Structures are given as structure tokens and as C-alpha cells.
Amino acid sequence: MPLMTAKLQKSKYIGDKAFYKMVLTIAVPIMVQNGISNFVSLLDNLMIGRVGENATNALSGVAIANQLMFVFFLLIFGATAGVGIFTAQYHGLGDVKGVRETFRFKLIANTILCMLSILVFYRYSEPLISLFLKGEGTPEDAAETLEIGLSYMHIMLAGLIPVGLCQAYSGTLRDTGQTRVPMIASLIAIMVNLTGNALLIYGLFGLPALGAAGAAIATVISRFVELGVLVVYTETHKEQHPFIVGAFTHFTVPGHMIKKYILRSLPLMANETLWALGNTVMSQSYSYRSLDAVAALNIQSTIWNLLGVAFLAMGEAVGIVVGQILGSGDMDKAKDTARKMIAFTVFCGVIFGVGMLVVAPFFPMLYNTTDTIREMASSFIFITGVFMPSVSCMHASYFTIRSGGNTLVTMLFDSVFVWAVSVPTAFVLSRFTQLSVFYMLLTIQILDLIKCVVGILLVRSGIWAKNIVK
């Protein structure tokens, strides 16, 4: 009996070869795309962190600008993903018209959000960046960091609209099961970005050495290249992607569907934005203790993003696969698939978490910065490596809950927790205690275990398993 029980438990959380082949077919292209993108981001940081005597200030200025831009990226991600829930379920139902309408809505909504974000960032970039420059450090370093951050951000604003349009195209392709082409488009853009970085950061072949500004210009160019590849591919493969046929004819979306999309998307869009804002506020709290923390967190997040690609991609795969099954109406299969995919995601988190622990003492040595920042970054990498399995569980649970359209529950689980627990804790610890940044970060990571438990309970309850398109 114990042996039989063990086998039943194994079959409950571990799939067969066909299951993992199906999952990896979806997830691997996303892993490759994100992995190479994050590797180029690593090279960006290393290049910027080795230019001139102000390398540390350049690294901090770019890190602050990117932290603020991170809010925009998750705003667009939330808007696209909210409608993407419908896209995946329409595709599972075989409703091409429904997929087409969601694609149109993504294009319109993302363009509007991009234009608003450009206005906000351009108008308030200086006071926003200045919020991160109140910790220990010289006024000269703060002024130089501000100047570099402003220059970098203002250039990056030119690439926001192509980012929004890319999300509409790549999001729709992924939601309908095509993850390979967005990966290829991203790889081409990454190569353009990497080449542009080498030319413009260092000033090769007679070009001006622009440092951080050169990195921003190269990134903007790569955004337009990625968009061009996605548009050309989709327009030339209409048989495989019939949603594009007539997508720009009578460019309208039925009013009752707009209301439906907005009601589902707003909580998710608000969630992603609030979550990103929450993390930005927490980073500001860390910087309040010391300006060195900004550079150290940038180093930590770079390697975390690189080694976290497996479980991050698995989270997206959960949303795509489970969403399509929910659209077909098979709730039992959706629950079983979600359970097994979450287990596999946590397994990926364990493997790459160990990788974080291994590289923690060595990775910061690649940066041309102070010993204090290197030591701080090593400790941050170690902490986040220890907690990577629990973060992977939260990530997969989030996408599972979201796949059934429970965006309000998703918001309560995710961003509300950040603002109710994590943000106040970081604020209090930074302003009213002498606790080091190391222990501040450790405390926040420990509190996230509560969120992990809540996510598991929500998934087990099955309240997320709903069909919203029939």
C-alpha cells in the first residue's frame, strides 16, 4: 500500500515523456529568448561598468533608469496578458475571430499606454531618479548619477511604442502556441543591440564613445528591428496565423467585447503596475541606506534574471498551456496539467538556485567597481539563490490563477501583498532601524514565503479553473 500511494503521488506531480515534450516545446523558445536577452543585458552592464572613471556612477544611473522603466514594461505586460487570457482560450476553442479582436485591442491599448508613459517619464524623470540619490555618498557622485540616468532614460523613451506593438504581436503568437518566432525576432534584435553596444559604448571604427547613452541608442534601434521581424513574419504567414487576415480592415472592436476585455485586464494591468511600483519603492528604500546598494542590486538582478530564465519561462508556459485547455472546457485536465507544471517549475527553481549559490562569490568580480559593492552584491546573490525555489512556486501559481481569468484574485495574491506587507516593511526598516541592506533584503524574502503558501492553497482550491469565452 505505501508503494502504491507513492506511485499515485508521483503520477500526480510528475508527467510522462509526452507531457514534458509538450511543455518544453512551449517553454524552451521562451527560455532561449529570455536567456539570451538577459545575457546581453549582462554584457550591457559589464560594458557600461568598465567605461571611464565614473563607471560606478554610470552603472547606478542606468540601474535607476531601468528600475523606473521596469514599471512601464510590466504595465504593458499586464495589459497584453490580461487580454491574452481571452486569446489563449479563444484559440483553444478554435475561434479565429475572437483571437483577431483581442489582437486589435492589444494594439490600440498598448499604443495609448505607451504614449501616456512617454509623457509621464519625460515630465517627471528628474524627480523620480532623484528619489534614489538620498543615501550615503558624495553630492558630486549623486549629480553625475542623475545626469547619466536622465540621458539614458530620455533616449530609451523613443523605443517605448515599438515595445508595446511587439508585445501585441509576440503575445498573440505565443497565446496561440507559436513561441519560436518571437524567440527568433528577439534573437535578431539582441544581436543588433549587442553590435550597437560595442560600437556606441566604446566608439569603435571611428564612432563616438557615448557610454551609457550609446547603450540606450543601441537598445532603441533593436526594438524597431524586433518589431519589423514580427510584422513581416505574421503578414507573410497568414495561413498559419489566420487572425492577421483582415485584422487591419474595419479596425474596430465590438463595444461589449471592449468592456469585457477591460474588466478582465484592468485588475491584471493594475497588478503588474502596482507590483513593479512596489519593487521600485523597495529599491528606493534599499538605496536610502546606501547609494552603493543601487549598483549592488543591479549586479544581483542581472545574474538573477539570467539564471531565472527556466522557471520564468515555465510560468509563461503554464499560462499558455493551461489557458488553452480551459478554453476547450476540460477542467480536470487543466488542474492536472497545472499541478504537474508547477512541480516542474519548482524543480527548475531548485537547480538554478543552486547555480546562484555557486556563482555568488565570483560573479561580482567581473565588474569594475569597489570592493564594498562587490561584497554587497555577493551577499544579495546568495540570499536570492536560497529563495529561488519559493519564488518559482509563486511565479507558477500566479500564472495558473491568471489563466482562468481570475485577475482580481491574482491582484490580491500578488501586488496587494507587496503593498500591504513588503513595501511597509522595507520602508520601516530603512527609516527607523540601523539594519543593514543585507538583513533588509533577507527579511523581505522570508515574508514572501507567506505568499508562496497562499499561492499553493489558491491553486489547490481550484477556484481559478474557469472558461471565460464559451
The closest alpha carbon to 464, from 417, 398, 418, belongs to 398
Match 508527467 to its residue by C-alpha cell.
15
Count of structural domains within the chain: 1
Residue-wise DSSP of 300-328: HHHHHHHHTHHHHHHHHHHHHHHHHHHHH
* SS3 category, 469: coil
Residue 397 domain-assigned (yes or no): yes
Amino acid in the structure at residue 163: V
**pLDDT per position in the chain (470 positions), as tens?**
454 444 445 567 787 788 888 888 877 777 776 676 666 666 666 666 655 546 667 777 787 888 788 778 877 877 787 788 788 888 878 888 888 888 988 998 899 989 999 999 999 888 888 887 765 556 777 788 888 888 888 998 998 999 899 989 988 998 887 878 888 898 898 889 888 888 888 777 878 877 788 888 998 998 899 999 999 999 999 888 888 888 888 777 777 777 777 777 777 777 777 887 888 788 878 877 777 787 788 788 888 877 877 777 787 788 778 877 887 778 888 888 888 888 888 888 899 899 999 999 998 888 777 888 889 999 999 999 999 999 899 888 888 887 776 767 777 777 888 898 999 999 999 888 888 888 998 999 999 898 888 888 888 888 787 776 66
Residue 189 domain-assigned (yes or no): yes
Neighbours of 17 (CB within 10 A): 7
Neighbours of 189 (CB within 10 A): 26
Residue 78 domain-assigned (yes or no): yes
Give the span between the Cα atoms of 190 and 195, in whole angstroms.
8
Give the span between the Cα atoms of 249 and 468, in whole angstroms.
26
Residue 2 domain-assigned (yes or no): no
95: left (phi over 0), alpha (psi -120 to 50) or beta: beta
Match 534599499 to its residue by C-alpha cell.
286
Residue 171 domain-assigned (yes or no): yes
Residue 199 domain-assigned (yes or no): yes
Residue 1 domain-assigned (yes or no): no
Structural domain that includes position 251:
9-461
Give the span between the Cα atoms of 445 and 300, in whole angstroms.
14
Contact 182, 33 (CB under 8 A): yes
Contact 402, 85 (CB under 8 A): yes
Using CA atoms, how far residue 452 sits from 329, 370, 395, 412, 413, in Å, is: 28, 35, 9, 13, 9
Q: Is 203 exposed, middle or buried (0-12, 13-18, 19+ CB in 10 A)?
A: middle
pTM of the model: 0.69
Residue-wise DSSP of 271-307: HHHHHHHHHHHHHHHHHHH-THHHHHHHHHHHHHHHH
Rounded to whole angstroms, the maximal C-alpha distance in the chain is 75
Residue 66 domain-assigned (yes or no): yes
